[in-house]
Amino acid sequence: MTSDGRPRRLDLDRSIDDEILLRTVPGAVDYLFEELRTFSGAEVRVVARRRDALQLSYRGTLRPLAAIRYFDTAAICLYPDPDRRVRESTERGVLAALTGDSPQIQFRVGDLGEARWDIRDQFEADPHWHNSAGNWDINVVDSPGGLVGEVGELYLTERFGALLRAPASTNPVIGAVMVRLAKIEDGQTVLDPFCGAGTLLVLAGEMAKPGLLIGGDVQSSWARAARTNVHSRGLDGSLLNVDAQRLPFPNGSIDRIIANMPFGKRVGTHKHNIQMYPAALGEISRVMTPRGRAVLLTEDKRLFRETVQRTPLLRVIKEILLERGGAHPSAYVVVKRGNSRAVQR
């Protein structure tokens, strides 16, 4: 911790050698793996792979790792021997990259049942560690492999900043996968007709180089939140209070569409979706360019697939099953029929 009690900063440009666990969303592991396989700036070896995490042997600076969008948290692997692993990380790993004018590391212990208190006492016995449940550098939690220490400054919101949220806002990791699937090219117009608080538009603007970002939502309060989120990031966006069933855009004017469609659970109902999905997908087909591409997220899957089949000119070319908070939505890549270029890419 620092002298004023705040968590210590992480020197992202210090070279480290450590065992790190990256936790992500089931369905996003392949994208995380591919990003690690192709990025430069560090030597990375995948030690273990799970449906929601990758364990890495990591050598290099942390800055390229922190720039990756496809994981929620990064943690120091403390198993199989926490004492030894703490020493190693303090000497040459992530803990060595914590900076501040105090040698103490603030930590908390997550909900580990009755073992929580013994683990807390074990760490607090080290004079270099201080238990601070509300203001911490390292969060000690369990994982399938054993104890890990989540690094506060490597949380997703710490790396990229928090956003205003609407009910059922898209998880940013899922959103990053959707933006990747959209294959946005420089200068293209990107539309989210169910924008909520604009999470997908912000991700599109920060992960790619689009032209105009357009967001629409039938709820004016959410459109206002989206406007705040998009403009606070310095992005060029037009946020409108519009109904996705009646889009105010010319035929064939939109290059890319990304949207988290109402699942019919937290937002809307399945009965409402039966009426709304055909109208919304009809509008998507109308406004999308002949070589356009839409990435649409929903858990109302049977209705979605049947509606696409009945919608003139549209077809699904890819489905990615994702998972978050007990929900199991799929991201569908939808193109115009006859767009062979989309399949090749």
Q: Which two tokens stand for residue 275?
A: 């009426």
Q: What is the pLDDT of residue 104?
A: 86
Nearest to 277 by CA among 261, 292, 289: 261
User: Residues 145-158, buried b or exposed e (16+ Cβ, 10 A)?
Assistant: bebbbbbbbbebee
Q: Are 7 and 150 in contact (CB under 8 A)?
A: no
Distance CA 1, CA 3 (A): 7
Q: What is the pLDDT of residue 211?
A: 96
Q: What is the pLDDT of residue 4?
A: 47
Q: What is the pLDDT of residue 263?
A: 85
Give DSSP secondary structure letters for 8-29: PEE-TTSEEEEEEEEE--TT-H
* pLDDT at position 180 over 80: yes
Q: Are 36 and 29 in contact (CB under 8 A)?
A: no
Distance CA 116, CA 108 (A): 10
Q: What is the pLDDT of residue 5?
A: 53
Tell me the per-residue pLDDT of 231-282, one tens digit each, with 9 for 90 and over. 999 998 999 999 999 999 999 999 999 999 998 666 668 888 999 999 999 9
338 to 292, 298, 317, 332: CA distances (angstroms): 11, 24, 12, 17
Mean pLDDT of 164-180: 94
CA atoms within a 13 Å half-sphere pointing along the CA-CB vector of 74: 28
Mean pLDDT of 29-46: 92
DSSP 8-state secondary structure symbol assigned to residue 313: T
Distance CA 35, CA 39 (A): 6
Query: Of 122-136, 247-261, 311-325, which gets the smallest average pLDDT?
Result: 122-136
What's the pTM value of the predicted model, to 2 decimals?
A: 0.93
For all residues of the chain together, what is the average pLDDT?
A: 93
Local confidence band at 310 (pLDDT 50, 70, 90 cut-offs): very high
Local confidence band at 345 (pLDDT 50, 70, 90 cut-offs): very low
Distance CA 62, CA 96 (A): 12
Tell me the per-residue pLDDT of 135-161, one tens digit each, with 9 for 90 and over. 899 999 999 999 999 999 999 999 999
Local confidence band at 2 (pLDDT 50, 70, 90 cut-offs): very low
Longest dimension (CA), the chain: 68
Q: What is the pLDDT of residue 340?
A: 58
199 to 172, 188, 225: CA distances (angstroms): 7, 18, 10
Tell me the per-residue pLDDT of 290-306, one tens digit each, with 9 for 90 and over. 999 999 999 999 999 99
CA angle, 83 then 87 then 93, to 5°: 130
> Could you tell me the domains of the chain?
9-159 (3.30.2130), 163-344 (3.40.50.150)
Q: Quick one: which H or E segment has residue 137? A: none
Distance CA 69, CA 278 (A): 32
* pLDDT at position 3 over 50: no
* pLDDT at position 6 over 70: no
Work out whether strand 146-151 and strand 190-192 pair parallel, antiparallel, or are unpaired.
Answer: unpaired
Q: Which two tokens stand for residue 115?
A: 């073992």
Question: What is the percentage of the chain residues whose pLDDT exceeds 90?
Answer: 84
Mean pLDDT of 188-202: 97
* pLDDT at position 342 over 60: no
* pLDDT at position 106 over 70: yes
